[in-house]
Protein backbone atom coordinates (compact mmCIF):
# COMPACT_ATOMS: atom_id res chain seq x y z
CA UNK A 1 0.00 0.00 0.00
CA UNK A 2 1.26 3.48 -0.88
CA UNK A 3 2.18 5.51 2.19
CA UNK A 4 1.93 9.25 2.51
CA UNK A 5 3.90 11.76 4.51
CA UNK A 6 2.59 15.21 5.27
CA UNK A 7 3.38 17.88 7.89
CA UNK A 8 1.75 17.37 11.24
CA UNK A 9 0.64 20.99 11.51
CA UNK A 10 0.69 24.34 9.75
CA UNK A 11 -0.35 27.83 10.74
CA UNK A 12 -1.54 30.54 8.40
CA UNK A 13 -3.31 33.88 8.51
CA UNK A 14 -6.65 34.82 7.06
CA UNK A 15 -6.49 35.80 3.41
CA UNK A 16 -3.26 33.95 2.69
CA UNK A 17 -2.77 31.11 0.25
CA UNK A 18 -1.89 27.85 1.96
CA UNK A 19 0.03 25.03 0.32
CA UNK A 20 0.17 21.61 1.97
CA UNK A 21 2.57 19.15 0.42
CA UNK A 22 2.28 15.40 0.65
CA UNK A 23 4.92 12.91 -0.38
CA UNK A 24 4.01 9.47 -1.70
CA UNK A 25 7.19 7.92 -3.07
CA UNK A 26 5.67 4.48 -3.65
CA UNK A 27 2.60 5.57 -5.58
CA UNK A 28 1.43 2.96 -8.05
CA UNK A 29 0.61 3.56 -11.69
CA UNK A 30 -3.13 3.25 -11.18
CA UNK A 31 -3.29 5.21 -7.90
CA UNK A 32 -5.13 8.50 -7.67
CA UNK A 33 -4.33 11.26 -5.18
CA UNK A 34 -7.19 12.50 -3.06
CA UNK A 35 -7.49 15.13 -0.33
CA UNK A 36 -10.07 15.27 2.42
CA UNK A 37 -10.89 17.89 5.06
CA UNK A 38 -12.14 17.04 8.53
CA UNK A 39 -13.58 19.30 11.22
CA UNK A 40 -13.79 18.13 14.86
CA UNK A 41 -16.63 15.70 15.53
CA UNK A 42 -17.51 15.44 11.84
CA UNK A 43 -16.76 12.92 9.13
CA UNK A 44 -14.14 13.78 6.51
CA UNK A 45 -15.24 15.74 3.46
CA UNK A 46 -13.86 15.15 -0.03
CA UNK A 47 -12.01 18.18 -1.39
CA UNK A 48 -10.26 17.23 -4.60
CA UNK A 49 -8.80 14.33 -6.56
CA UNK A 50 -6.22 14.10 -9.32
CA UNK A 51 -3.96 11.78 -11.26
CA UNK A 52 -1.38 14.11 -12.80
CA UNK A 53 -0.62 17.77 -13.57
CA UNK A 54 -3.11 20.22 -12.11
CA UNK A 55 -6.70 19.97 -11.02
CA UNK A 56 -8.78 22.91 -9.84
CA UNK A 57 -12.26 23.13 -8.40
CA UNK A 58 -14.22 25.78 -6.58
CA UNK A 59 -12.42 25.28 -3.28
CA UNK A 60 -8.86 24.15 -4.03
CA UNK A 61 -6.17 23.29 -6.54
CA UNK A 62 -4.09 20.15 -6.64
CA UNK A 63 -0.63 20.20 -8.18
CA UNK A 64 1.01 16.90 -9.13
CA UNK A 65 4.50 16.82 -10.68
CA UNK A 66 5.37 14.49 -13.52
CA UNK A 67 6.93 11.84 -11.28
CA UNK A 68 3.78 11.82 -9.07
CA UNK A 69 5.86 11.21 -5.96
CA UNK A 70 4.38 14.23 -4.26
CA UNK A 71 1.38 16.48 -4.49
CA UNK A 72 0.44 19.92 -3.19
CA UNK A 73 -2.98 21.02 -2.06
CA UNK A 74 -3.42 24.75 -2.51
CA UNK A 75 -6.13 26.65 -0.63
CA UNK A 76 -6.55 30.22 -1.86
CA UNK A 77 -7.29 33.01 0.59
CA UNK A 78 -8.03 30.90 3.65
CA UNK A 79 -10.48 31.98 6.31
CA UNK A 80 -10.89 30.99 9.95
CA UNK A 81 -13.41 28.35 8.89
CA UNK A 82 -10.70 26.50 6.96
CA UNK A 83 -9.12 25.46 10.26
CA UNK A 84 -9.31 21.68 10.04
CA UNK A 85 -7.29 18.52 9.51
CA UNK A 86 -6.37 17.83 5.90
CA UNK A 87 -5.64 14.28 4.75
CA UNK A 88 -3.72 13.22 1.67
CA UNK A 89 -4.54 9.75 0.37
CA UNK A 90 -3.34 7.66 -2.54
CA UNK A 91 -5.05 4.63 -3.96
CA UNK A 92 -8.37 3.99 -5.56
CA UNK A 93 -8.33 0.58 -7.11
CA UNK A 94 -9.91 -0.99 -4.04
CA UNK A 95 -11.74 0.19 -0.95
CA UNK A 96 -9.07 -1.22 1.34
CA UNK A 97 -6.35 0.82 -0.36
CA UNK A 98 -7.75 4.17 0.68
CA UNK A 99 -5.58 4.78 3.72
CA UNK A 100 -5.84 7.89 5.85
CA UNK A 101 -2.67 8.95 7.64
CA UNK A 102 -2.59 11.32 10.58
CA UNK A 103 -3.22 14.37 8.41
CA UNK A 104 -2.11 17.99 8.68
CA UNK A 105 -3.74 20.22 11.25
CA UNK A 106 -4.16 23.60 9.59
CA UNK A 107 -4.82 26.49 11.92
CA UNK A 108 -5.88 29.78 10.38
CA UNK A 109 -5.22 32.74 12.60
CA UNK A 110 -6.96 36.13 12.45
CA UNK B 1 -31.03 16.35 4.26
CA UNK B 2 -29.87 13.82 1.69
CA UNK B 3 -26.47 13.05 3.15
CA UNK B 4 -25.24 9.96 4.96
CA UNK B 5 -26.89 9.55 8.34
CA UNK B 6 -25.73 7.52 11.32
CA UNK B 7 -27.51 6.51 14.48
CA UNK B 8 -27.01 6.83 17.31
CA UNK B 9 -24.61 9.76 17.38
CA UNK B 10 -23.30 8.77 20.78
CA UNK B 11 -23.30 5.47 22.63
CA UNK B 12 -22.01 4.74 26.10
CA UNK B 13 -21.86 1.13 27.13
CA UNK B 14 -20.26 -1.09 29.71
CA UNK B 15 -17.49 -3.49 28.88
CA UNK B 16 -18.87 -6.82 27.71
CA UNK B 17 -22.10 -5.44 26.28
CA UNK B 18 -23.09 -5.66 22.63
CA UNK B 19 -23.75 -2.53 20.58
CA UNK B 20 -25.18 -1.95 17.12
CA UNK B 21 -24.83 1.10 14.92
CA UNK B 22 -26.84 1.99 11.86
CA UNK B 23 -25.83 3.80 8.69
CA UNK B 24 -28.15 5.10 6.00
CA UNK B 25 -26.18 5.96 2.87
CA UNK B 26 -27.09 8.41 0.14
CA UNK B 27 -29.88 6.66 -1.74
CA UNK B 28 -28.24 6.23 -5.14
CA UNK B 29 -24.91 5.09 -3.70
CA UNK B 30 -24.36 1.36 -3.98
CA UNK B 31 -20.99 1.37 -2.20
CA UNK B 32 -20.83 1.60 1.58
CA UNK B 33 -17.83 1.70 3.89
CA UNK B 34 -17.21 1.54 7.63
CA UNK B 35 -14.24 3.16 9.33
CA UNK B 36 -13.01 3.55 12.88
CA UNK B 37 -11.25 6.69 14.06
CA UNK B 38 -9.45 7.22 17.34
CA UNK B 39 -8.33 10.55 18.73
CA UNK B 40 -5.54 12.17 16.74
CA UNK B 41 -5.57 9.56 14.00
CA UNK B 42 -7.14 9.36 10.60
CA UNK B 43 -10.00 6.96 9.89
CA UNK B 44 -9.05 3.28 9.57
CA UNK B 45 -10.85 1.15 7.01
CA UNK B 46 -12.96 -1.65 8.47
CA UNK B 47 -15.15 -3.04 5.73
CA UNK B 48 -16.79 -2.35 2.37
CA UNK B 49 -20.07 -3.35 0.75
CA UNK B 50 -21.11 -3.19 -2.83
CA UNK B 51 -24.87 -3.45 -2.73
CA UNK B 52 -25.56 -6.22 -0.22
CA UNK B 53 -22.26 -8.02 -0.72
CA UNK B 54 -19.46 -7.51 1.78
CA UNK B 55 -16.48 -7.48 -0.54
CA UNK B 56 -13.58 -6.33 1.62
CA UNK B 57 -12.72 -6.60 5.29
CA UNK B 58 -9.76 -5.29 7.21
CA UNK B 59 -7.87 -7.51 9.60
CA UNK B 60 -8.88 -4.89 12.17
CA UNK B 61 -12.37 -6.36 11.93
CA UNK B 62 -12.03 -9.05 14.58
CA UNK B 63 -14.59 -11.79 15.06
CA UNK B 64 -16.38 -9.58 17.58
CA UNK B 65 -17.28 -7.20 14.77
CA UNK B 66 -19.92 -7.98 12.20
CA UNK B 67 -21.46 -5.82 9.52
CA UNK B 68 -24.47 -6.35 7.34
CA UNK B 69 -26.21 -4.56 4.56
CA UNK B 70 -29.49 -6.35 3.89
CA UNK B 71 -31.11 -5.48 0.59
CA UNK B 72 -28.23 -3.15 -0.25
CA UNK B 73 -29.71 -0.19 1.55
CA UNK B 74 -28.86 0.67 5.17
CA UNK B 75 -26.05 -1.07 6.99
CA UNK B 76 -25.46 -2.11 10.58
CA UNK B 77 -22.22 -2.62 12.43
CA UNK B 78 -22.38 -4.75 15.56
CA UNK B 79 -19.68 -5.10 18.16
CA UNK B 80 -20.08 -8.00 20.56
CA UNK B 81 -18.51 -8.19 24.00
CA UNK B 82 -17.21 -4.65 23.81
CA UNK B 83 -13.79 -3.81 25.20
CA UNK B 84 -12.43 -0.46 26.32
CA UNK B 85 -10.18 -0.45 23.27
CA UNK B 86 -13.26 -0.32 21.07
CA UNK B 87 -13.91 3.24 22.22
CA UNK B 88 -13.69 5.34 19.06
CA UNK B 89 -15.68 7.19 16.45
CA UNK B 90 -17.27 4.83 13.94
CA UNK B 91 -17.74 6.43 10.57
CA UNK B 92 -19.83 5.31 7.66
CA UNK B 93 -19.34 6.51 4.10
CA UNK B 94 -20.95 5.83 0.74
CA UNK B 95 -20.05 6.41 -2.87
CA UNK B 96 -21.33 5.96 -6.38
CA UNK B 97 -20.27 3.08 -8.60
CA UNK B 98 -17.36 3.86 -10.90
CA UNK B 99 -13.67 3.40 -11.40
CA UNK B 100 -12.46 6.16 -9.12
CA UNK B 101 -15.39 6.47 -6.80
CA UNK B 102 -13.55 4.68 -4.00
CA UNK B 103 -11.73 7.98 -3.66
CA UNK B 104 -14.77 10.26 -3.51
CA UNK B 105 -16.63 9.05 -0.48
CA UNK B 106 -19.35 10.88 1.38
CA UNK B 107 -19.05 10.46 5.12
CA UNK B 108 -21.67 10.54 7.80
CA UNK B 109 -21.26 12.36 11.12
CA UNK B 110 -20.16 9.23 12.92
CA UNK B 111 -21.18 7.37 16.05
CA UNK B 112 -18.98 8.00 19.05
CA UNK B 113 -18.68 4.89 21.21
CA UNK B 114 -17.46 5.03 24.78
CA UNK B 115 -16.88 1.73 26.56
CA UNK B 116 -16.67 2.05 30.33
For residue B74, count CB atoms less than 10 angstroms from its CB and return exposed for 0-12, middle for 13-18, buried for 19 or more: middle
pLDDT confidence of B100, banded at 50, 70, 90?
A: low
Are B101 and B11 spatial neighbours (Cβ–Cβ below 8 Å)? Answer: no
Q: Which residues of B touch A93 (CB under 8 A)?
A: 102
pLDDT band at B59 (very low <50, low <70, confident <90, very high): confident
Q: Find the mean pLDDT for residues A72-100.
A: 89
User: Are A100 and B44 in contact (CB < 8 Å)?
Assistant: yes
Q: Which of A41, A89, A95 has its CB closest to that of B56?
A: A95
* A71 has pLDDT over 90: yes
**HSE-up of A98 (CA within 13 Å, CB side)?**
31
Q: Chain-wide mean pLDDT for chain A?
A: 92
CA atoms within 13 A on the CB side of B55: 15
A1 touches chain B (CB under 8 A): no
Residue A9, strand partner residues: A105
CA distance B95 to chain A (A): 11
- For residue A101, how many C-alpha atoms fall within 13 Å in the half-sphere facing its CB? 22
B93, closest residue in chain A (CA to CA): A43
Average pLDDT over residues B61-81: 94
**Is there a contact between B107 and A49 if contact means CB atoms under 8 Å apart?**
no
The answer to whether residues A68 and A52 touch, using CB atoms and an 8 Å cutoff, is yes
Amino acid sequence: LAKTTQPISMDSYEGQEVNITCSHNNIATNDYITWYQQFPSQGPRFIIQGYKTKVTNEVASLFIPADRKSSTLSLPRVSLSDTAVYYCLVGGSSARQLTFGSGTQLTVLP
Amino acid sequence: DTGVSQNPRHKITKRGQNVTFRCDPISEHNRLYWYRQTLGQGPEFLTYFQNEAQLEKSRLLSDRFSAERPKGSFSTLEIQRTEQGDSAMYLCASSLPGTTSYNEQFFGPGTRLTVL
